[in-house]
Structure 1
């Protein structure tokens, strides 16, 4: 057997100790572990708050590779070592890297910063999604906040409350920013996306993104649902909601405890599951293919252009994607349908392509309405995928040529479904639906 092994007594020589973000006393075995440690590794702020023995060597974490080398050497030499980490080291923490390095470890977690943030805000956290923006692209974490009603984000410098707040402008969200948890400088601020974007925040901090109970419909000027402080009020909300109470309008998370799982009711739902006008809705058979081609999932942003009933965008949201629904009709039932299905869409009322200007860049776009100018405006934004449905055959070839000229590989199918319909006497027949061409443009 090769690689670092446990001590002769069978206990790992590397103890990974969580430094509590909630201020609770440490696990009772931490003090004796530190007392006999020959090497202690951790961030400067962690080394400053634990009793490091005078004879122990210390490594202040920066680049991880040198620390891993020193820990491996300590294991080979039989020197007990302690690694200090924030909260629960196995939750988006250092445990994964230590195990990948083959180090024998024992983990003593503390209260995670996410749990502490929810607790300090006086909120329940069951059903909330937890994502990280630390050391990776910010967009998936931002899109999770756009898509889901309750999200906790582990932030990093340059990928924190200011940047996420800027990306959430236009989505009705309450934000809670928890700074310096477990220290004398701890501060919990209830604010709005706009206010969060306009100020600096101390690192490290945890961001909670919460959707109001009543999502504002098209044209509503109030992105807070009437509950969170705005503008200058945000600075006065440092200690949290008045009297410790939740602002009115913060909505519950989904009750199935699966915020980004496949919906229990499935997708490609019948048209009767949506309010629509004059049968102007993407039929279930076509919608099944369109949604499959859009590849919705948590972390992706999808535009539904010419949304109408919003059936395509809603089913993408049910599968975890963030969705912007664009429609020129202010009375389109998309917002009501989204509320009916318990998902949160950003609804933009306006005529495309002008209404698309200023929207955040999408990962995929469904074009269910509009002409060549709309498709051209979409292609210019270079989403990974564009899905177009066309009933008029004379529009198919121009759409194919436009997408190919924009650098997309194009595939297409015509769907002509025939549905069972009852006849008198108990017999059945097939009733044809209008054939529709589905085009998919994919960037190589």
Structure 2
């Protein structure tokens, strides 16, 4: 049986059996700062160079006279590792948790190294374990060293998300961004240390306090445990807190939460409750959703949502969605349709453009009907893409002009579908649907 800790033969770099042959071994250090892997001592015994954070070097049994590099900027450490490999000097890299999981292994391979990896338990696995919750249904995202908005939008869209945080992009900031979404948060600080604290809280309570950096954030949509309402009770036995209660919601809950929907998209109108055929037809919806480009990490507004079909299909593809609708009966239908398709939309009842004022900035916006005031308000928010459908031809020119004046490049097409329909006697005719113009504005 193949040893899973050893890499397969690489057609470019060849096969490495560890540091004895002049390769690089990456060893994970567990959440408490302890070198848990029993093979670490063997790996270090033959090492001529050890790279790691100061806290990891301090706990590792380094051989006498071994050269070390304290990790700060990664580039100098990569240069030393490449130089060591070039002359056959065995090297060891110490890293937190599982170094192949949002860790240094990716950067080493990008630099041309093919390391042997000895992982420890990742901080995400440890956080879910402390919460007493399975995580095969979770999506893991990072807000560390990158724009935190995609991580926030994943939390808005999906029922179970783990976030690797950074100063200024942690539980407080994500909690503030979840206003309007029903979520609970589990914040894991100082995992594996004597100061470990795992706290269940609400987004509003998380936004109102400070947290130790870095921490792991779990954003969950299942029903809150008995301690959630108090704004933050400790778990893991600290302060006698209880583990959060589990349970499913109406949201998608399977072991492939980031996969495309098994039932597809551009669903027939019969898949949605709607009023008097007032729904974006499936042929038009297919193009509109393609133009919106929904995926995990993006926020889509569905303005004048009607039945909610466009927003729901964006949510099925992983996007966070806010549906804006002024008609109270339509609002109820949107919520019912979202529940029927097991997605979570934030529904805002109100008239555009006023209802848009306090919403978080979108990445893409769909407007059914293209009312000029609403379109102008959307353009002022500068989303990357704006898609609108127009049945009235006289509205096309003004809409194109408004988008171009706002700095968008615009393309459009008129869709006119004819569907098969049965005739008496077994014949078939073509039944035309109303033609619709689809406009797409995109920031250059």
Query: Aligned to 1:315, which of 313, 316, 341?
Result: 313
Alignment-derived partner of residue 202 in structure 2 = 192
Matches within 5 A, 1:356-367: 356-367=356-367
How many angstroms apart in 2 are the aligned matches of 1:118 and 1:3?
36
1:236 aligns with 2:233: yes
Paired residue for 1:441? Answer: 441
Task: Name the CA distance, whole Å, in 2 between partners of 1:68 and 1:4.
Answer: 19
Deviation at 1:15, TM superposition (A): 1.4
2:110 equivalent in structure 1: 100
Q: What is the RMSD of the two structures over their aligned residues, measured on CA atoms? A: 2.6
Q: Which residue of 1 aligns with 2:270?
A: 272
User: Which residue of structure 1 lines up, in the alignment, with residue 420 of structure 2?
Assistant: 420
CA shift, 1:152, in A, is 0.9
8 A contact 2:23–2:90 mirrored in 1: yes
Name the CA distance, whole Å, in 1 between partners of 2:218 and 2:237: 13
Give the conservation status (yes or no) of the 8 Å contact 2:202–2:232.
no
Q: Deviations over 1:378-432 (max 9, x none)?
A: 0000111111111122222111111111111111122121211222222222222
Within 5 Å, which residues of 2 pair with 1:118-137? 118-137=128-147
Q: Deviations over 1:151-176 (max 9, x none)?
A: 11111222211221121121111111
What TM-score, normalized to structure 1? Answer: 0.90
Question: Any runs of at least 4 consecutive aligned residues in structure 1 with deviations exceeding 4 A, and if so which?
Answer: 1-10, 22-25, 225-228, 238-243
The secondary structure found in structure 2 opposite 1:297 is coil
Unaligned runs of 5+ in 2: 1-10
Deviates more, 1:338-347 or 1:24-33: 24-33
Contact between 1:39 and 1:80, CA under 8 Å: does it hold in 2? yes
Measured in 2, the distance between the counterparts of 1:80 and 1:9 equals: 4
Query: What is the match of residue 300 of structure 1?
Result: 298
Q: CA deviation at 1:258?
A: 2.1
Task: Note if contact 1:41-1:82 (Cα within 8 Å) is conserved in structure 2.
Answer: yes
Residue pair 1:210, 1:251 contacting (<8 A) in 2 also: no
Distance 1:359 1:19, change over 3 A: same
Alpha carbons of structure 1 residues 400 and 236: separation in structure 2 relative to 1, 3 Å: same
Please, which moves more after superposition, 170-179 or 255-264?
255-264
The TM-score with structure 2 as length reference comes to: 0.90
In 2, distance between residues paired with 1:5 and 1:291? 46
Deviation at 1:248, TM superposition (A): 6.2
Say whether residues 1:153 and 2:171 are aligned partners.
no
1:42 aligns with 2:52: yes
* Aligned equivalents of 1:8, 1:439: Cα separation in 2: 58
In 1, the alpha carbon distance for the partners of 2:203 and 2:18 equals 55
Q: Deviations over 1:133-153 (max 9, x none)?
A: 121111111111111111111
Decide whether aligned partners of structure 1 residues 12 and 227 sit closer, same or farther in structure 2, where only a CA change above 3 A counts: farther
